[in-house]
A and B are shown apart, each in its own frame.
Chain A
């Protein structure tokens, strides 16, 4: 599988590591259902999903990758944060 890094171009997945579904962290607050959903519960779709990948052996960017979990088709990737320099 290859991922289209917005900075480096298409690269072999051996340069990346997968973290899981791209979810928004509950801002602060005490433990509750929102935190449990963020940390544990998943839609885990058989189909298109948005997930976090780290290009650790490349540009060091965290990416949000749109990918199909059944066909493994990668529909796109974007930087997860704006990137401090922007």
Chain B
């Protein structure tokens, strides 16, 4: 009778700190991709609504305590922090993605400047405020970036690329930290 021990994607890679910037790994709990079938969007929204959530507009995150629904692409969202309700599978294609993603939290003054070194996203508050999420490039990788606080972001990258993900974030953090201690300020 085997008992398998688990290992997190960024084990041994984080935390990383540079100046006021911090990078750490977070565990989101279950992650399920939800892709509604034809004509089922309303039904799916209703079922998620019953959990106090709902169907997110593009770039939107709907949170309810530890649970949330995060827009993840064309007709695609991630149900995070809770297991899908019974019957949801009748209306949408569900797939367990709990292990597929390395999830990092970047926080501290200049966090936006760090991401500005890695992603072409327009991160200005007026465009990408708290609660906004986006799929985009991060360095040479695909990532999902969510702004959770004014100067805190959640970054999801492929589990297999966790090493590169952390390395590139750390390198950008070093640059930004070094710049911010200089007269030619940050950014």
Contact = CB atoms under 8 A, between A and B. Distances in A.
A–B contact, 8 Å CB criterion (strictly below): yes
Interface of A: 7-9, 11-12, 14-15, 56-61, 79, 83-86
Interface of B: 35-41, 58-59, 73-76, 120, 134-137, 142
A73 to B, nearest CB: 20
Contact of B38 (A15, A57, A59, A86): A86
A49 B162 CA distance: 40
Contact of A59 (B40, B41, B58): B58
B58 A84 contact: no
A54 to B, nearest CB: 11
Given A8-B58, A60-B73, 8 more contacts: A15-B136, A56-B142, A59-B74, A59-B76, A83-B74, A84-B75, A85-B41, A86-B39
A9 B35 CA distance: 21
Given A12-B120, A14-B137, A85 B58 contact: no
Contacts of A59: 58, 73-74, 76, 135
Contact of A85 (B40, B120, B137): B40
B120 A8 contact: no
A61 B74 contact: yes
Q: Chain A interface mostly helix, strand, loop or mixed?
A: loop
B75 A57 contact: no
A61 B120 contact: no
Contacts of A86: 38-39, 41, 75
A84 B136 contact: no
Contact of A60 (B38, B76, B134, B136): B76
Contacts of A12: 120, 137
29 contacts: A7-B58, A8-B134, A8-B135, A9-B59, A11-B120, A12-B137, A15-B120, A57-B135, A57-B136, A57-B137, A57-B142, A58-B73, A58-B134, A58-B136, A59-B58, A59-B74, A60-B73, A61-B73, A61-B74, A79-B74, A83-B74, A83-B75, A85-B35, A85-B36, A85-B38, A85-B40, A86-B38, A86-B41, A86-B75
